[in-house]
Amino acid sequence: MLFYKFQKIENPESFAKEHLKFCKKLGVLGKVLVSEEGINGSISGTTEQTKEYKKFMHSLKGFEDVFFKEELSEDHSFTRMFVRLKKEIIRFEKPVDMLNKKGKYIYPSELLELYKKEEKFTIIDVRNDYEYKAGKFKGAINPKIKTFRQFPDFVEKIKDKKEEKIIIYCTGGIRCEKAGVYMEEQGFKDVQQVHGGIINFCQQYPDTIWEGRCFVFDKRLMTNINQTSPPISECELCGELCDLYRNCKNHNCDKLVIMCLNCEKKMNACCSKKCLQEFREHCSQKAILKQGRKQEIIL
């Protein structure tokens, strides 16, 4: 489940401690960020556990209307549970009045209708570049940013679009919420965000105007949306069409890379020949150290 809410929290430290205590008692796994501006979380658990979690969240003052984006999975999407205290629930590093302002929504059915009618609008992906590579809405602009903190730099480049109808989107909605308010503060006249983000849209209208897959920040890396459509991304090593993201096995690199199964086998899941060499050297050193420990025990 993905969720967020911009809502003033008077004592975020105490809120975070109580939240973690409840989550551990319930047995759910995931990542929750808490700050004075609200909460941002991703949770995995059984049907009963997630029902109890939603009930708990909706019982908190100010969080009665939290909207959960849900997906079914055969296993946990996370390996542990933590709740962290942050300055922002989505890091932006620009002052945005999220407690007194709210983004404007366009609902999935309305967005689909815009495409069908071929109305004039600009659609912008506010996610990171490596997320855009894996999947996007048809015709969406790629800001080519590595982190959300770079989005204001992109906004500077499109000031000529202030009078245009602009649609923005992200995975679950939180980045759009802040980006939309920021753009309005910068003078953009008509900015709307896709309600519930990519996850919500593709659950309602799969295999329509979304191309490829959707990157997620848990151990799955990719969601199962649009299972019948072909991938739009390519293996970064051989160029074959592929939608499998993985981290380079060389821990000194750990780069996110799109890699097909053949290249994964050939390269030991390393993103380059240099990383493969470093990985093999590291494995050899570990083997030598391990053998040395065995000899010491024998002696």
List, by residue number, the catalytic residues.
170
3-class DSSP state of 202: helix
* Alpha carbon 179 to its chain's center: 15
User: Could you tell me the CA-to-CA distances from 79 to 29, 31, 52, 246 in Å, in that order?
Assistant: 7, 10, 20, 17
Residue with tokens 């899941």: 269
Q: Which of 227, 230, 233, 226 has its CA nearest to residue 208?
A: 226
3-class DSSP state of 274: helix
User: At 99, which amino acid appears?
Assistant: L
Strands (E), 2-127: 2-6, 29-35, 38-44, 81-85, 105-106, 122-125
Provide the 8-state DSSP code for 36. T
3-class DSSP state of 179: helix
Q: What is the C-alpha to C-alpha distance for residues 185 and 192, in angstroms, rounded to an integer?
A: 14
User: Could you tell me the CA-to-CA distances from 293 to 93, 285, 289, 297 in Å, in that order?
Assistant: 49, 12, 6, 6
Torsion of CA 257, 263, 266, 271, to 10 degrees: -20
User: At 98, which amino acid appears?
Assistant: M
